[in-house]
């Protein structure tokens, strides 16, 4: 069967059930709804295209950050929809997602894929465009334990960034362990999930938040 991509908000809702911290969000279908949702969530907000055919939203001009007024939210709605239509005229535009803007943090990626020979594989690594080029990632075949997760975190080259490096404060490694464990459980228990990509997870001195999720199901 062909795999299907869940929308960002379906992905958020699924991960939230496992205790993964996700930004407050709403789906809107008109500029006026966008303005109202943004006010309710509180400024600044991020707005993103909601279309099953658009996998990489930024590539389509489908992500606008730091929206700080009701009027800006209304304008952003129109801009995002216009950009998405220009990018892919055949894309079905289901609406726009309005999200609470998460504070900047250390960006990490957590992913999963299904290998034909080995089965489900969990991946973890440093995020951010520059570091992604260097592929600082580690992986394990499921099933794994919490100790495996601790090893994965410690073995990436970027680990000093989590531990605290040259005067930068240590990040919340315990929260990261909890999130990775929750994601591992989500992957193991949902047999229809074949692949997913959480990019990025933002890790803070205290706490964390994911700000994007793509899940593919059979
Ligand atoms: P893409 O489909 O292109 O991967 P993302 O949802 O990851 O789109 O958004 C692109 C970038 O915008 C993210 O990598 C992140 O830096 C920023 N971003 C997205 N959502 C949020 C948010 N809720 N809070 C803060 N920054 C965000
Ligand atoms: Mg992303």
pLDDT digits (tens, 9 = 90+) for 12-22: 999 999 999 99
Where do the domains of the chain lie, and which CATH numbers do they carry? Answer: 24-100 (3.30.1490.20), 106-217 (3.30.470.20)
Best of 65, 96, 106 for a ligand 1 pocket test (most atoms within 8 Å of beta carbon) = 65
CA 69 to chain centre: 24
- CB-ligand 1 contact for 211 (6 Å cutoff): yes
Say if residues 210 and 15 touch (Cβ distance below 8 Å). yes
Closest by alpha carbon to 73, among 64, 62, 61?
64
- CB-ligand 1 contact for 23 (6 Å cutoff): yes
Q: Tell me the whole-structure pTM to 2 decimals.
A: 0.94
pLDDT of residue 122: 98
CA distance 203 to 208: 4
- CB-ligand 1 contact for 101 (6 Å cutoff): yes
Structure confidence by residue, pLDDT tens digits, 22-81: 999 999 999 999 999 999 999 999 999 999 999 999 999 999 999 999 999 999 999 999
The encoded tokens of residue 111 equal: 């992913």
Say if residues 35 and 72 touch (Cβ distance below 8 Å). no
pLDDT of residue 65: 98
Say if residues 188 and 120 touch (Cβ distance below 8 Å). yes
Residue 2 predicted with pLDDT over 60: yes
Q: SS3 for 35? A: helix
Structure confidence by residue, pLDDT tens digits, 162-213: 999 888 899 999 999 999 999 999 999 999 999 999 999 999 999 999 999 9
Distance 55 CA to ligand 2 centre (A): 9
CA distance 130 to 138: 17
Distance 200 CA to ligand 2 centre (A): 6
pLDDT of residue 134: 85
Residue 1 predicted with pLDDT over 80: no
Residue 109 predicted with pLDDT over 60: yes
Say if residues 120 and 114 touch (Cβ distance below 8 Å). yes
């Amino acid at each position: 069967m062909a795999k299907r991509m869940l929308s960002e908000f379906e992905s958020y809702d699924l991960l939230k059930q496992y205790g993964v911290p996700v930004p407050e969000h709403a789906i809107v279908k008109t500029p006026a709804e966008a303005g109202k949702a943004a006010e309710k969530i509180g400024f600044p907000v991020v707005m993103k295209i909601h279309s099953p055919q658009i996998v990489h939203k930024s590539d389509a001009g489908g992500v606008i950050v730091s929206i700080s007024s009701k009027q800006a939210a209304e304008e952003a709605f129109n801009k995002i929809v216009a950009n998405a239509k220009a990018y892919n005229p055949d894309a079905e535009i289901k609406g726009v997602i309005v999200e609470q803007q998460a504070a900047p943090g250390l960006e990490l990626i957590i992913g999963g894929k299904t290998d034909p020979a080995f089965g489900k594989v969990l991946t973890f690594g440093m995020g951010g465009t520059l570091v992604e080029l260097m592929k600082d990632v580690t992986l394990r075949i499921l099933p794994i334990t919490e100790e495996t997760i601790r090893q994965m975190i410690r073995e990436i080259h970027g680990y000093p960034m989590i531990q605290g490096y040259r005067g930068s404060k240590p990040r919340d490694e315990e929260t990261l362990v909890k999130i990775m464990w929750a994601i591992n459980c989500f992957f193991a228990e949902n047999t229809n999930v074949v692949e997913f990509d959480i990019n990025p997870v933002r890790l803070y001195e205290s706490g964390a938040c994911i700000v994007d999720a793509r899940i593919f199901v059979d």
